[in-house]
Structure 1
């Protein structure tokens, strides 16, 4: 088999190596979306931890607990081929390991993989607009399925595929699919606490429909999570403007106002401490040959410091104190 296999890792860093055990004269290989049938034998330190036949749509292997390294290697294999795949942790079980298989964190594993069969993948360039819309509906449906399974990374992938395959179609049906998918992408990112990406997905939906209540509400939630309280307040107030009975938005508005007040109070304290230190420093006698201008003009008092705090706060926040 040789000491060094073919490097099939995405970054060509040796993290996934393929050693052909049994070659095949067939030419068909897996492509995105094609149904594949494989036989897997997983090994760690020479011991087998799993062996099974599995069938799945290529690109969705994680739904069947197929590790990423195996799926990446499969793309280079042909039907009938058997290969030994050496996979480093980042494409295997990572820093968590696998308790079920008794694999420690940061472990390199091997898989013996036989590609039994695979169907032809989707050739997008051949699809008509109608076929693209049908495929987009399928992607969206898969996204919803994976969301319900809490497989958020795969759900995001499916929703993004929905948007991508109809990116050049401009009609009401495609617009509806793009808005729904982007809004759902945002929800998935919220579930994984990736609020910046979630906000961006909402922005994409709102480009197509600025009055979309779900996208506005979810952008408000993302803004609130990243401490953009004023932007969040604007989003929730827009929701109420469009849907006055939206109780969830009313509650979020109260939270936003409270967070804004807390942020303002915190900022006031910072200014107060700063000017208090300045006031204390001014009261300290310092030898100087210069004329004592404070004797003539009046010293910096606590009252002066308090007034200056308010003025500085007004300037920095562009508000009028009442």
Structure 2
């Protein structure tokens, strides 16, 4: 009997070639030893795949040890998803479709097809996420955030955003945090990390010119910390880019009150203030012409 599984978006297929020993499946933070063989790529060369999609799992020696949840690229996250559905000693044929452009969907664009065989030989299973303590979630989220920071510095903006988002989702499972009755230091650390993650996701969205998402994320920060300069600056720039010069000026003005020598804020304030004044003048001129007509 052929055991075939497809993801909901049909970007991943897994067909069992050799059944394994029925066990509890790998979970987040499980340490797995895998063997990847017979890699075949359609749509680009195998080397280009590794360069473009930053895969670590399909690169290097066939056998490698990995930790579930640590994948730093979209294709490796998909492979992790496959591994989390495997039994020990199972060998499966996996087919993954990746869009030619990372920011685009598979449905609307030509795709690269990656096919390979994978065997799960060992798994040191970690306890399910819902059994993690608040301290464990904080530590793992901190690790994901640091990895995201490295990816951002490497200009891997989309991959960085996914790391920050994954860390944030982990912390959101602790809400409402006041009900957990944690020690004050841990509660403070968790809240601070969450704000830092919102800010980091905002700068990623700003780089991608997703300005409305920037506004939403920065507002989450400012609802908790109204004088957060990074959030004020990023939201101000986002407002300016969607044409809301008044709100842009309001945010940047707060920064200049807090930090009068902030040159970046002053520069952006001047840009949007000039635009606002020109807009107001155009409106005045238009009204003047209308009244002259009558």
Q: 2:28–2:129: 8 Å Cα contact kept in structure 1? A: no
Q: Structure 1 residue aligned with 2:19, among 23, 27, 44? A: 23
Q: Note the C-alpha offset of 1:70.
A: 3.1
- Work out the CA distance in 2 between the residues paired with 1:269 and 1:37: 72
After TM superposition, the structure 1 = structure 2 runs for residues 87-236 of structure 1, keeping only pairs within 5 Å, are 87=96, 89=97, 92=98, 94-96=99-101, 105-121=110-126, 123-167=128-172, 168=175, 169-170=177-178, 171-236=187-252
Report the equivalent of 1:36: 32
Distance 1:164 1:96 in 2: 26
User: Which stretch shows the higher mean deviation, 140-149 or 18-27?
Assistant: 140-149
Distance in 2 (alpha carbons) for counterparts of 1:183 and 1:48: 37
- SS of the counterpart of 2:89? coil
CA RMSD of aligned residues (A): 3.2
How far is 1:247 from its partner?
1.5
Is contact 1:175-1:208 (8 Å) kept?
no
Q: How is 1:45-84 mapped onto 2 (pairs within 5 angstroms)? A: 49=46, 52-63=62-73, 66-67=75-76, 69-84=78-93
8 Å contact from structure 1 (residues 8, 16) kept in 2: yes
Q: Give the superposition deviation at 1:184.
A: 1.2
Displacement of 1:256 after TM fit?
0.6
Q: What displacement does 1:43 show?
A: 1.3
SS at match of 1:112: strand
Post-superposition offset of 1:240:
0.8
- Residues 33-56 of structure 1: CA deviation (Å, up to 9, x unaligned): 3333322232146x9947733443
Residue by residue, what CA displacement relative to the aligned partner does 1:164-197 show, whole Å, maximum 9, x if unpaired?
3333224322221121111111112112222221
TM-score, normalised by the number of residues in structure 2: 0.75
| TM norm structure 1 | 0.69
Tell which structure's C-alpha radius of gyration is larger. Answer: 1
- Bigger shift: residues 129-138 or 240-249: 129-138
Contact 1:187 1:218 in 2 (8 A): yes
Q: Which has the higher contact order (CA 8 A, sep 6+)?
A: 2
Give the drift of 1:238: 0.6
Give 5+ residue unaligned stretches, structure 1: 98-103, 276-302, 309-322
